[in-house]
Amino acid sequence: MLVLSRRLNESIMIGDQVEVKVVDVRGDQVRLGVQAPRDIPVHRKEVYAAIQKQNLEAAAADVSDVEKARRALENGEKDEDRKG
């Protein structure tokens, strides 16, 4: 792990497109600004971990669960068709 010291309003560059800037320091809390192209996702680590977990769960979904969901949607659509 690379460890860098930065002061208020100082930045680091990650590659050519991502800038991370120290925008505020209050006690033991540091606020960072991240400037990156829209096609590069930027998340807090805990949010990133939650996204990864959901992706793994979705990838491991049982095919029968998908089939049940498809049938439920079809039945719901048929019920709506009958109401109209």
Q: Which is more confident, 61 or 60?
A: 60
Whole-prediction pTM value? 0.65
Task: Give the model's pLDDT for residue 66.
Answer: 75
Amino acid identity of 38? R
Question: In whole angstroms, what is the distance from residue 28 CA to residue 4 CA?
Answer: 17
Two tokens, residue 32? 């960072």
What three-state secondary structure class fits 7? coil
Output DSSP code: residue 21: E
Q: In the chain, where are the structural domains located?
A: 11-83
- The contacts of residue 34 (CB under 8 Å, 6+ apart) are 18, 19, 20, 21, 42
Task: Give the model's pLDDT for residue 78.
Answer: 60
pLDDT-derived band at 84 (thresholds 50, 70, 90) equals low
